[in-house]
Amino acid sequence: MSGFRLSSGGLVDRTSPRSFRFDGRAQTGFAGDTLASALLANGQVTFGRSFKYHRRRGLLTAGPEEPNALVELRDGARREPNSRATTVELFDGLVANSQNRFPSLDFDLMAVTGLLSPIFAAGFYYKTFMWPAAFWEKLYEPAIRRAAGLGRASGAPDPDSYEKAFAFCDVLVIGGGAAGLAAALAAGRTGARVILVDEDFVLGGRLNAERQVIGDVAAADWAAAQVAELQSLPNVTLMSRSSVVGLYDGNGYVALERVADHLPVPFPGMPRQRLWQISAKQAVLAAGSLERPVVFAGNDLPGVMLASAVRTYLNRFAVAPGRRAVVFTAIDDGWQTARDLAASGVEIAAVVDPRDDVAPHLLKGLPSRLGARVQRAFGTGRVQGVEIVGADGIVTRLAADLVAVSGGHSPNLGIATHLNHRPRWSDAHLAFVPDALPPGLSVAGSANGTWALGAVLAEGAARGAAAAAACGFAPVVHDIPRVADEVVARAALWRVEGGRGKAFVDPQNDVTDKDIALAAREGFVSVEHLKRYTTLGMATDQGKTSNVNGLALLAELTGKSIAATGSTRARPPAVPVALGALAGTHRGKHFRPTRLTPSHAWASENGANFVEAGQWLRAQWYARPGETDWLQSVSREVSAVRDGVGFCDVSTLGKIALEGPDVGAFLDRVYCNTFSTLAEGKARYGLMLREDGFVMDDGTVARLDARRYVMSTTTANAAKVMQHLEFCHQVLWPELDLAMSSITEQWAQFSIAGPKSKLLLEALFDGAVDVSDAAFPYMGAREVLVGKLPVRLFRLSFSGERAYEIAVPANRGAALVVELMRVGAPLGLVPYGTEALGVMRIEKGHVAGNEINGQTVARDLGLGKMMSQKKDYVGRAMAQRPALLAPERPTLAGFVAVDPAERFSGGAHFLAPGAVVAPENDLGFMTSVAFSPSLNRWIGLGLIANAGERLGQRVRGYDPMRGRDTLLEVVSPVFLDPEGARLHA
């Protein structure tokens, strides 16, 4: 026997059939169904196989707390594992497959693990797979992962898009059931901005699953009327198909909106899901409560279902989950399930209630067994009957294909505990109820342990009105509709012992009562230890239906009260969130945008290979036809610059404009060398230290006129330097009168280097600008107008050659390149990339990012003389610490191989010849290496202890990473033109 569709009733649209496939079989449901209700209506009994023992599992719930019915939804690249069939809205063309079974759901070879279950008890992995340690990664873990586990990810890129959005409101209402609707309306009518978030596709929560009457209309109709009024209020936003997944500091809520999950494929331009950050002044948590199962033998058989879930399937989806039912309940609410089942024509075998006395009206017309318990459910493949132990201890059997159980309710308080507020155990409620709450959050309805519908509606309205009032909105009189009185008596019911077979506490992670007993015996009596040792509550459902039962069992075993045993807290996300939603639009290139230099298009047409420098793409070298090797191209570029003229796009360097009467004084404090003496029309190299004395960045500052300066930084540190300068100005020295702005992206800047660079500028300006050495000496800086075009010209050199930098507004950079190439053709002008730039700076012993690595002080880099003795500046005091001045501290030196033909590389560590390879003999390491076409050999810069004494000595360059071991000679770090004659050539 199995479930079937009722001929009438429910919120499904029998005129709108929906066809779908499950495990390849074509089936039909109705609009308004979930995948679970449609399958149940079509007689599906087994919905999944369990995680560890591969036991058949059916539906336990009808909501997001479902531990068993996890499926792979959709196929191909859209395949989504571990989707809860109970929350999947049925659509035409839906495809789903069961998971964690081989080869099929009905015949699962892995079910033999159930026979081996004695060895799969809690702590099994820790005890069994400890030795030998090396086996874990290679053998044990892959094998376990194949046997256990959940669904498979698609393995293909997600074809859908996701969005992130921000929302702001006065009152956020979490949950659109009875309490939530009442709260939203009470707040909405005051004029407060209200957002109501509900995870279902129909608002109303349990009102849609009950046969109660509110006022004089059916509960579902009443809910629909409330929704209609809420929709009419312009200050209220309703978000269905959305879950609040986390609460963060400062009243920040994160909600996941499933925009297109109910469609086969999102419409063009439509995101699949949207992640909201909702900033709410006040919030009302009306997330309802979750029914608890009862722990007894065989309680995981398909056909054993929560009593409230049975009502949901009956009343909302018009599906009877069985034909002959036993209801096992310790609370009055469970009897309603029996009454609804009977009204739908399902035979009630018995209502079993452990209480000796219940309100007489409950008994009316129902066969009942008071003072009795279900100790075991039995059956092959599904439940076929139960063993009932009576008050007299006599065990009787009853046939049934449906067992509806209720062990009471747990308020759904996960969100309220995300900021570390713990709920408190209430013996009156037999549940954890709210205690201290996060600021601005209140709880209403059964989430607050308020069970009776009339009280729930009143409490929801009161909380909604109070939240709006806290935001300054005057209250509006709100009628609470009349609801029939309910009795909500309940007794504790956690476990029934005595039945033969496994009794599950956490069905998703296959944790049994015996596992908990074992953990307690072995001393894992703290809740946190129990969880980790048994994995209780650590599955994808976060133990929503199992944590409290586990806690109650532990309390029983340790002889403590539940309150003394511990409490439950949850962490975000409250429901699983796809990584795609967390990433939002930040995928691929949107994750890390590419910044292009002004010459990029021209460079890519002219053979450039690009390299990433932070977000920038820079030309690394320009391959010419016939060049087969990067070294060939780079060496050609270096020689072309050294013999003629080349240009390089240096727009990526950070540029900061500084203006004001105190810029000079300011620069004196942020650079270790002096800038207040910098004349107008001149530039100077500067070294910037951190306050701890280490070098932060280097660059130049040009003084354009009395008040205006422009600073350059390295590409990598542009933002960091800007932040540092703002700190120095705003926090340290706000009395200095200056302002600054980043202009990195406003100017295109090119280095023009080589002995013919002056000729190139003459050709470019054609007499419009005087570039003679008299008018424009080394380290000159000028701002000129060429026609209407502002041009900044600097005579700076990084290559050691006569060189200039020319800057134009960024949108004119591309045109400048074309013009340079046109006028430069007769001079043999070549473009060069960052690689040639690097070769030339190494040849000159100029330090760069490899040496300014955050661990070097000025003295280490041979720049100690730049540190002024005459002024205070950031880093001055700390750079004088004795250890930073010790001669054994590695400092900059040059290196060549003793055999000129030998190649070596950066990262090699220096050892004295004959020294044992050991960390204590390490003398330093190679920072930068290049092939120098000028010297026709490999050259390197490195940091080596006692560098001053080592000139001319030999050291080993030990490089086990690349299998190199090179005998090196220590030389001056300036390999070329130590006198600097080329700067003026």
Partner 1 sequence: MRITCTYCGSRDVSEFSYLGDATLTRPAGGEGHAMLDYVYLRDNPAGPHEELWYHAQGCRSWLRVRRDTVSHEILDVRMAVDK
For 424, the enclosing helix (H) or strand (E) is strand 424-426
Residue selected from 24, 360, 734, 882 as contacting partner 1 according to rule CB under 8 A: 734
Report the C-alpha gap between 548 and 567 in whole angstroms: 8
Q: How far is the CB of 667 from partner 1 (least distance, A)?
A: 17
| CB closer to partner 1 out of 29 and 246 | 246
Binding flag, residue 727, partner 1 (CB under 8 A)? yes
Q: Would you say 904 and 964 are in contact if contact means Cβ atoms under 8 Å apart?
A: yes
Instruction: Quickly list DSSP for 292-348.
Output: ---B-BTTTSTTEEEHHHHHIIIIIT-EES-SEEEEEESBHHHHHHHHHHHHTT-EE
Q: How many CB atoms lie within 10 A of CB 284?
A: 36
Q: How far is the CB of 730 from partner 1 (least distance, A)?
A: 4
Q: Rounded to 5 degrees, what are φ and ψ at 750?
A: -125, 140
Q: Which parts of 277-296 interact with partner 1 (CB under 8 A)?
A: 277, 279
Q: How far is the CB of 715 from partner 1 (least distance, A)?
A: 18
Q: How far is the CB of 670 from partner 1 (least distance, A)?
A: 12
| CB closer to partner 1 out of 163 and 762 | 163
| CB closer to partner 1 out of 564 and 877 | 877
Binding flag, residue 723, partner 1 (CB under 8 A)? yes
For the chain, helix (H) and strand (E) counts, in that order, are 25, 52
Count of residues touching partner 1 (by CB under 8 A): 23
Q: Rounded to 5 degrees, what are φ and ψ at 36?
A: -65, -45
Q: Which parts of 582-611 interact with partner 1 (CB under 8 A)?
A: none
Stretch touching partner 1 by CB under 8 A, among 146-154, 715-723, 755-763, 888-896: 715-723
Report the C-alpha gap between 271 and 165 in whole angstroms: 12
Report the C-alpha gap between 186 and 478 in whole angstroms: 7
| CB closer to partner 1 out of 117 and 746 | 746
Q: Would you say 322 and 401 are in contact if contact means Cβ atoms under 8 Å apart?
A: yes
| CB closer to partner 1 out of 53 and 873 | 873
Residue selected from 216, 357, 605, 872 as contacting partner 1 according to rule CB under 8 A: 872
Distances (CA, A) of 142 to 81, 150, 327, 509, 565: 19, 14, 42, 18, 36
Q: Which parts of 777-806 interact with partner 1 (CB under 8 A)?
A: none
Q: How far is the CB of 497 from partner 1 (least distance, A)?
A: 45
Binding flag, residue 249, partner 1 (CB under 8 A)? yes
Binding flag, residue 739, partner 1 (CB under 8 A)? no
Residue selected from 24, 103, 132, 250 as contacting partner 1 according to rule CB under 8 A: 250
Instruction: Quickly list DSSP for 862-930.
Output: T-GGGS-SSS--TTHHHHT-HHHH-TTS-EEEEEEESSTT----TTPEEE-TT--SSGGG--EEEEEEE
Q: Single out the residue of 694, 801, 723, 809 nearest to residue 758, CA to CA.
A: 801
> For every residue of 247-290, which 3-state class applies, written as one string?
EECCCEEEEEECCCCCCCCCCCCCCCEEEEEEEEEEEEECCCEE
Stretch touching partner 1 by CB under 8 A, among 627-635, 730-738, 825-833, 923-931: 730-738
Residue selected from 207, 304, 710, 722 as contacting partner 1 according to rule CB under 8 A: 722
Distances (CA, A) of 914 to 883, 905, 917, 958: 27, 21, 9, 12
Binding flag, residue 556, partner 1 (CB under 8 A)? no
Residue indicated by tokens 């046997």? 147
Q: Would you say 307 and 334 are in contact if contact means Cβ atoms under 8 Å apart?
A: yes
Q: How far is the CB of 250 from partner 1 (least distance, A)?
A: 4
Give ∠ CA 798-803-805 in degrees, rounded to 5.
85
Length of the chain: 985
Q: How far is the CB of 876 from partner 1 (least distance, A)?
A: 8
Q: Which parts of 679-708 interact with partner 1 (CB under 8 A)?
A: 691-692
Q: How far is the CB of 593 from partner 1 (least distance, A)?
A: 14
| CB closer to partner 1 out of 171 and 358 | 171
**Which x/- pattern, by CB under 8 A, does the window 446-485 give for partner 1?**
----------------------------------------
Q: How far is the CB of 732 from partner 1 (least distance, A)?
A: 5
Q: How far is the CB of 528 from partner 1 (least distance, A)?
A: 21
Residue selected from 43, 439, 854, 913 as contacting partner 1 according to rule CB under 8 A: 439
Binding flag, residue 163, partner 1 (CB under 8 A)? no
| CB closer to partner 1 out of 15 and 730 | 730
Q: How far is the CB of 441 from partner 1 (least distance, A)?
A: 13
Reported as half-sphere exposure (CB side, CA atoms, 13 A), residue 308 has a value of 24
| CB closer to partner 1 out of 246 and 379 | 246
Q: Would you say 648 and 753 are in contact if contact means Cβ atoms under 8 Å apart?
A: yes
Q: 3-class SS at 440?
A: coil
Tell me whether strands 891-897 and 924-932 are parallel, antiparallel or unpaired. Answer: unpaired
Report the C-alpha gap between 72 and 92 in whole angstroms: 17
Tokens (6 digits) for 501: 């077979």
Binding flag, residue 869, partner 1 (CB under 8 A)? no
Binding flag, residue 914, partner 1 (CB under 8 A)? no
For 179, the enclosing helix (H) or strand (E) is helix 178-188
Q: How far is the CB of 689 from partner 1 (least distance, A)?
A: 12
Q: How far is the CB of 676 from partner 1 (least distance, A)?
A: 17
- Report whether the peptide linkage leading into residue 777 is cis, meaning its omega lies within 30 degrees of zero: no
Q: How far is the CB of 776 from partner 1 (least distance, A)?
A: 34
For 26, the enclosing helix (H) or strand (E) is strand 25-31
Which residue pairs, CB below 8 angstroms and at least 24 apart, start in 102-107? 104/23, 105/23, 105/46, 105/48, 105/49, 105/56, 106/46
Q: How far is the CB of 886 from partner 1 (least distance, A)?
A: 18
| CB closer to partner 1 out of 231 and 723 | 723
Residue selected from 538, 732, 823, 827 as contacting partner 1 according to rule CB under 8 A: 732
Report the C-alpha gap between 495 and 788 in whole angstroms: 88
Residue selected from 107, 131, 166, 267 as contacting partner 1 according to rule CB under 8 A: 166
Report the C-alpha gap between 849 and 830 in whole angstroms: 25
Q: 3-class SS at 225?
A: helix
Binding flag, residue 629, partner 1 (CB under 8 A)? no
Report the C-alpha gap between 792 and 462 in whole angstroms: 68
| CB closer to partner 1 out of 33 and 697 | 697
Binding flag, residue 877, partner 1 (CB under 8 A)? yes
Residue selected from 359, 719, 789, 917 as contacting partner 1 according to rule CB under 8 A: 719
Stretch touching partner 1 by CB under 8 A, among 394-402, 500-508, 768-776, 876-884: 876-884
Binding flag, residue 730, partner 1 (CB under 8 A)? yes
Residue selected from 144, 577, 596, 878 as contacting partner 1 according to rule CB under 8 A: 878
Q: How far is the CB of 251 from partner 1 (least distance, A)?
A: 8
Q: Would you say 546 and 67 are in contact if contact means Cβ atoms under 8 Å apart?
A: yes
Residue selected from 149, 157, 159, 252 as contacting partner 1 according to rule CB under 8 A: 252
DSSP state of 89: B
| CB closer to partner 1 out of 674 and 953 | 674
Q: How far is the CB of 280 from partner 1 (least distance, A)?
A: 11
Instruction: Return residues touching partner 1 (CB under 8 A).
Output: 166, 248-250, 252, 277, 279, 439, 691-692, 719, 722-723, 726-727, 730-732, 734, 872, 877-878, 880
